[in-house]
Structure 1
Amino acid sequence: MFTINIENMIKYILFTASLLFVIQFTEAQIAVKGETVYTVTGETIKNGIVLIRDGKITKVGSASKVKIPNGFKIYEGKVVTPGLVDAHATVGFSGIYNQKSDQMQLDKSSPIQPELRAIDAYNPQESLVAFLNSNGITTVHTGHGPGAPISGQTFVAKTVGKTIEDVKLDDATMLAMTMGGSVHSNFKTPGTVAKEMAMLRSELIKAQEYQKKSSNSDASKRPARNLKMETLVMLLEGKLKALITANSSNSIMTAIRLAKEFNLKLVLDGASESYLLIDEIKAANAEVVLHPTKARGYGDMKNMSWETAGILANVGVPVAIQSGYEPYVPKTRVILFEAAIAVANGLSFNDGLKSITINAAKIIGQDNRIGSLEKGKDGDVVIFDGDPFEYLTTVTTVITNGELSYEVKK
């Protein structure tokens, strides 16, 4: 009797374990059906299906070619796109309450602080992050904001997760810098663009010297660790891109000169008057993260245009559209709406979708994981009940990392 009970107990344990495995495995299997599926990098599919297993896309195709296996949880709607990618924001640093306690995007104690790490200040549980996810943004490039010659580092995160370790796709992506504009109102020095440029060049020259000394084969002759210099060396070596907020044509050219002198990987941020410098931007191989289309046009942005995204895209400059930073409530814009306005003003539908998916993913260095619906990429999918750029359209379902992260209650 005792032996039989042991055998039964073993069978029960094995059965329970296998049942738990099946349940967990089933939950990790999702099929998304759409009347129209925009893959972004491939053909648009009518009556398409996207299969996701264990957080990754395994198949994308028409319903006639892709069979949904048994046990897959099915979500469906009219239009399916990849998870949207916000190319530049301060969300998670700037919070919803607009109070000192939730405004961590800019430290004004010093104008040049490259050593400030984004991963140390980001709050993945900030309510604005969840708000973006509910609007289809599954990935955000965020960090220290504009307003200082160098305000600090940025990084890339998913919009679902409790801790930095849960959400981060990298530790550091770019170095946030600003030319002109708010810099001169935030700091006594620099008070002019010429002074700012002199300060930046001086620090980068110091970093070149630090870089050279650090490579000395004699350890005793290497300099003591310097976090500021270490970060600037990463910039010089191309491990970090230079994200330079520059809106006026003069500021844009100043940014281009700095990047050329020190061989920096340049990402122009804001770029309100970029339509005046198309040849110069192309010659500099600069990437463009355009300002929110509906941003307020004042100061350095007084000559912004709703048509800029279309102008740049039409001459072959890949454009990503950002949510940016707003110094007033509600503290963040939604790239879906910003791109929609650009589409209504000269940007094609396909380029509009690319501006908030694959173009953004390429600029932030994550196009191997996100930005399109392709086999092997992260299971980030958005379902709409109509044209994504139509104002009355609703995001009905968001899947992030192969799991349901948002769904409209029926």
Structure 2
Amino acid sequence: MKKYIIIGLLSCFTYGQQTPAPKQTKSILITGGKAHLGNGKVIENSIISVKEGKIAMIQDGTNFKPEKHDIYIDASKKHIYPGFIGANATLGLVEVDAVKASDDESEMGQMNPHIRSIIAYNTESGLVEAARPNGVLLAQIAPRGGRFSGTSSVVQLDAWNWEDAVVKENDGIHLNWPSSYSRSGWWAEPGGIEPNKNYEKQITEIQDFYNDAKAYLNSNPTLRDIPYEAMKGLDTGDKRLYIHVDGEKEIVDAILFKKKNNISKMTIVGGYYAFKNIPLLKENNVSVLLRRVHDLPLLEDEDVNLPYKNAKLLDDGGILIGLQNAGDMERMQIRNLPFYAGTCAAWGIDKERALQLITFNTAKILGIDANYGTLETGKSATLFISEGDALDMRTNKVTVALINGRSISLESHQTELYDRYKEKFEAQAKE
């Protein structure tokens, strides 16, 4: 009986995704649009040729006559962008928070670097579909929970299954760094802040696990240890270590952990107080996937606008930064990713540099910048056309989106409801 109740609940809250687009077989020419390349450059009157899933040509279209194409798209008075990238996302891992059977974002235990989130990724999730109409076309699917949460992978958001979706498999391991303090109370009645007496012990446990994994990988074991095997690649740079941490002291300790263990590539995820450690971050080539921009300060006596200013502080300091959306209702809110970048622009970052926070910068951090993140000849034709500024919620209206040259559907449960009730009220207005 319980089985049927769960199925019934899921059917009430989920919505089947549109059929994935077929492989591109016809050449496409996009003309007249203002192309925001994602690397800080803009072509006012662009011409873009798309063939076999790649950008075959992109340049100024003034007085230029291209060769014949199969499909022509007039983007005059519109804007063209590379597909936005949602880093540190749990899209496709949870459908309904209140339905445990649809929640697969974390595993039991503390040391789980071997847990591969991609295996649980559900391409049929209605929340995946809801992100695309705002230009979010790629995402890093990351695990949650424990100390070592597991291994993330990068996907494109129009696929039949996770194997089809993968852009980069097993890109990095996620580590939740302990906090040096704890809070009492709850959000409605916050209490005081107390030191975490087990902080040093918890760091020692992380170091011991890393030491054991390294010893295992340097030996010829007779019995396999899968969690230890998953740690392979952190020292060589084949995998990136994503350390989820916000505090100033904790960020320093995390960087010292990187130095001590010769970890090649490391990114701070969250990094609320990273601006206080800019020289150390820069010296150790540590990038930051910044905490959600639309949020409140962590402490009541801080500048209420600090979350908005954080990106500029780090950008001015020469730190490679991207944006991410972890937090309450994160899967539903990932569609707001472009507007986080817009907020960063409103608080001091140049508009084209703000765009890089969810395109080129994020692609570099995730290790997919050879094919994604910018509009350049030879790269994947993963892009979209908007009637207005895509970083402004008042004007962003995506009309065409391509993933690897495939023209994808922009329909979702929300758009169907919009069309349904629009028709209803228009009919009533005529009565």
| TM-score normalised over the length of structure 1 | 0.84
Distance (Å, rounded) in 2 between the aligned partners of 1:285 and 1:163: 35
Looking at structure 1, the residues matched to 268 and 301 of structure 2 have their Cα atoms a distance apart, in angstroms, of: 14
The answer to whether structure 1 residue 229 and structure 2 residue 228 are counterparts is yes
Give the Cα–Cα distance (whole angstroms) in 2 for the partners of residues 269 and 258 of structure 1.
Answer: 15
Give runs of aligned pairs for residues 251-270 of structure 1, distance below 5 A: 251-264=250-263, 265-270=265-270
Shift of 1:181: 5.0
Number of the residue aligned with 1:4: none
Equivalent residue letter for 1:276: K
Is 1:272–1:301's contact at 8 Å kept on the other side of the alignment?
A: no
1:231 Cα offset (Å): 0.9
Inter-CA distance 210–163: structure 2 relative to 1 (3 Å threshold): same
Please tell me the residue identity of whatever aligns with 2:153: F
Counterpart of 2:49 in 1: which secondary structure? strand
State whether residues 247 and 300 of structure 1, in contact with CA within 8 Å, keep that contact through their aligned partners in structure 2. Answer: no
SS in 2 for 1:173: strand
Q: Distance in 1 between matches of 2:322 and 2:378?
A: 23
**Residue 123 of structure 2 contacts residue 161 of structure 2 at CA under 8 Å; is this kept in 1?**
yes
State the distance in 1 between where 2:228 and 2:256 align. 21
Q: Which residue pairs with 2:288 in the alignment?
A: 288
Shift of 1:323: 2.2
Structure 2 counterpart SS, 1:170? strand
Q: Residue 120 of structure 1: SS of its match in structure 2? A: helix
Find the counterpart in structure 2 of residue 101 from structure 1: 101
Counterpart position of 1:212: 218
- The alpha-carbon deviation at position 183 of structure 1 amounts to 11
Q: In 1, distance between residues paired with 2:279 and 2:301?
A: 20
| Residue number in structure 2 paired with 1:352 | 354
- Cα deviation digits, residues 67-110 of structure 1 (max 9, x gap): 25242242525111111112221112132554322222222x21
Structure 2: unaligned runs, 5 residues or longer: 1-21, 184-195, 420-431
Tell me if the contact between 1:115 and 1:228 (Cα under 8 Å) persists in the aligned partners: yes
Greater shift after overlay, 228-237 or 51-60?
228-237
Match of 1:404 among 402, 407, 421: 407
Q: Give 3-state SS (helix, strand or coil) of 1:94's partner.
A: coil
Map 1:297-312 to 2 at 5 A.
297-298=297-298, 305-312=307-314
Larger mean Cα displacement after TM superposition, 233-242 or 197-206: 233-242
Evaluate the alpha carbon distance shift between residue 182 and residue 276 of structure 1 in structure 2; reply closer, same or farther with a 3 A threshold: closer
- Give the corresponding residue for 1:374: 376
Mapped partners of 1:125, 1:183: distance in 2 = 40
Matches within 5 A, 1:244-255: 244-255=243-254
Q: Percent identity?
A: 23
Letter in 2 for 1:229: Y
1:336 paired residue among 332, 335, 338: 338
Residue 286 of structure 1, CA deviation: 0.2
**Aligned counterparts of 2:386 and 2:84: Cα–Cα separation in 1:** 12
Encode CA deviations 1:102-136: one digit per residue, 9 max, x unaligned: 222222x2111111012211112211111112211
User: Could you tell me how far apart the structure 1 residues matched to 2:74 and 2:128 are?
Assistant: 23
Post-superposition CA distance 1:314-372 (Å, at most 9, x none): 22112111122425783645310111111111121111011111111010000011001
- Taking a change above 3 Å as real, the CA distance of residues 332 and 72 of structure 1, as seen in their structure-2 partners, is closer
Letter of the structure 2 residue corresponding to residue 249 of structure 1: E
Residue type matched to 2:359 in 1? Answer: T
Asked if 1 retains the 8 angstrom alpha-carbon contact of 2:24 and 2:405, the reply is no
The CA distance in 2 between the partners of 1:149 and 1:365, in whole Å, is 24
Structure-2-length-normalised TM-score: 0.80
Q: 1: distance between equivalents of 2:409 and 2:32?
A: 17
State the distance in 2 between where 1:300 and 1:198 align.
32
The answer (yes or no) to whether the contact 1:49–1:66 under 8 Å persists in 2 is no
Larger Rg: 1
Give the deviation of 1:407 after TM superposition. Answer: 4.4
Structure 1: distance between partners of 2:373 and 2:148: 28
The 3-state SS of whatever aligns with 1:65 is: coil
CA distance, structure 1, for counterparts of residue 239 and residue 300 of structure 2: 26
Residue 237 of structure 1 and its aligned partner are, at CA, apart by 3.3
Q: SS of the residue aligned with 1:87? A: strand
- Deviation track 1:17-39 (CA, whole Å, cap 9, x = no partner) reads xxxxxxx9985322223431112
Distance 1:111 1:235, change over 3 A: same
Question: Residues of 2 paired with 1:235 and 1:307: CA distance?
Answer: 32
Contact 1:181 1:299 in 2 (8 A): no
1:8 maps to none
Structure 1: runs of 5+ lacking an equivalent: 1-23, 215-221
The equivalent residue for 1:317 is 319
Q: Distance in 2 between matches of 1:129 and 1:163?
A: 13
Q: Distance in 1 between matches of 2:180 and 2:226?
A: 26
Q: Which segment drifts farther, 94-103 or 309-318?
A: 94-103
Q: Is the 8 A contact 2:81 2:385 kept in 1?
A: yes
Is contact 2:29–2:71 with CA below 8 Å preserved after alignment?
yes
Q: Number of residue pairs matched?
A: 374
Aligned-pair RMSD on alpha carbons? 2.7
* Structure-2 residue corresponding to 1:18: none
Q: C-alpha distance in 1, partners of 2:85/2:301?
A: 24
